[in-house]
Amino acid sequence: MTKRALVTGAGGFIGHHFVKFLLAKGYWVRGVDIKKPEFEDSPANEFTLLDLRTLETCVKASKGVDEVYNLAADMGGIGFITAYHAEIARNNILINSHMLEASRINKVLRYFYSSSACIYPQRLQNQSEVTPLKEEDAYPADPEEGYGWEKLFAEKLCQYYYEDYDLETRVARFHNVYGTLGTFDGGREKVPAALCRKIALAPDGSEIEIWGDGEQTRSFTYIDDCVEGVYRIMQSDCHQPLNLGTERLITINELVDMVARIAGKTLSKRHDTSKPQGVRGRNSDNTLLRNTLNWEPLISLEEGMTHTYKWIEGELRKTNRIPMLSESTR
């Protein structure tokens, strides 16, 4: 019998990709979001515009499905999540608490929650050469303000719904997911997309602005690995949160240089240390992920950033923000 799944946040970057992934697995998929996908229509069997901040709409969305993949979130890049603590925390707590309760009411078989590496204590992330973060490091708690706190609270809610109501909950802590079909402009874009846009728009030999001194470090996860990991975690027997990321640590300056090489440009950097830059360093420890799934993300940063840059460059050409390539230069 065909499995039926709900994907919340199906109008967003990860949710849109995940709808495609489940359809390829043979699922019947309902996608819901407060907005439509930005760059192409949703292929979901059903796509409905719903505000998931109310219990009534969450019950409607989750009715008649076997699995719920809750990827809906009010979020964005570091500039956005540091500027709107109350709005982000309020909206996401409402979405997550109501989706859990609706899933219980509708007797959903399995429930996936997309958490974040932002739940990890800031005291463990104040050096560029950071020690990779293990799942157990989440406590004593000291997550990022707003977004980090609400994610950690929702993780605990998943634990409570499993313990009190036997709802089979699964949780992944995403580490900087990037890739094609993600927003790259407007303030909600993440670092890889923002850098690709800046570099695509910059003339060869010019200068681009970097937030911070560029020596802050991160690890990044390509979207194809993310959706594969989400599915594997959902089908596993692991009820505790799992990191979903890569273990390759890279500075923002190094990432800029990588994208510039992909673009075939020589660029200089202008650092603005007055802009938000988040924690000094963050990396994923994948030991528990490997032991649990016998798998971990495999796509290299070079491969993923090449796909991402070329897609963003193509989108900028479509809107004439950079010139279209002539036939002779394609």
What pLDDT sits at residue 324? 67
303: in domain: no
274: in domain: no
Is the preceding omega at residue 140 within 30 degrees of 0, hence cis?
yes
- Mean pLDDT, the chain, as a whole number? 95
The CATH number of residue 230's host domain is 3.40.50.720
31: in domain: yes
The pTM assigned to this predicted structure is 0.95
What pLDDT sits at residue 79? 85
Domain housing 19: 4-178+221-244
Whole-angstrom CA distances from 101 to 49, 65, 113, 172, 300 are 20, 14, 13, 19, 38
What pLDDT sits at residue 328? 39
**Number of domains comprising the chain:** 1
Q: Please, which residues have CB within 8 angstroms of residue 272's CB and are 6 or more apart in sequence?
A: 209, 210, 211, 212
pLDDT band at 325 (very low <50, low <70, confident <90, very high): low
Average pLDDT over every residue of 130-157: 97
237: in domain: yes
The predicted-structure confidence for 197-229, as pLDDT tens digits, reads as follows 999 999 999 999 999 999 999 999 999 999 999
Q: How far apart are CA 202 and CA 220, in angstroms?
A: 23
Whole-angstrom CA distances from 143 to 26, 280, 320 are 38, 14, 41
265: in domain: no
261: in domain: no
Question: Taking Cα atoms as reference points, which of 32, 312, 96, 273 lies closest to residue 190?
Answer: 312
The predicted-structure confidence for 221-275, as pLDDT tens digits, reads as follows 999 999 999 999 999 999 999 999 999 999 999 999 999 999 999 999 999 999 9
Positions marked active-site: 147
pLDDT at residue 329 tops 70: no
pLDDT at residue 1 tops 90: no
Q: Chain centroid to CA 244: how far?
A: 10
Q: How far apart are CA 10 and CA 32, in angstroms?
A: 6
73: in domain: yes
> By mean pLDDT, which of 16-20, 105-109, 140-144, 316-320 is the weakest?
316-320
55: in domain: yes
Cα distance from N-terminal residue to C-terminal residue, the chain: 47
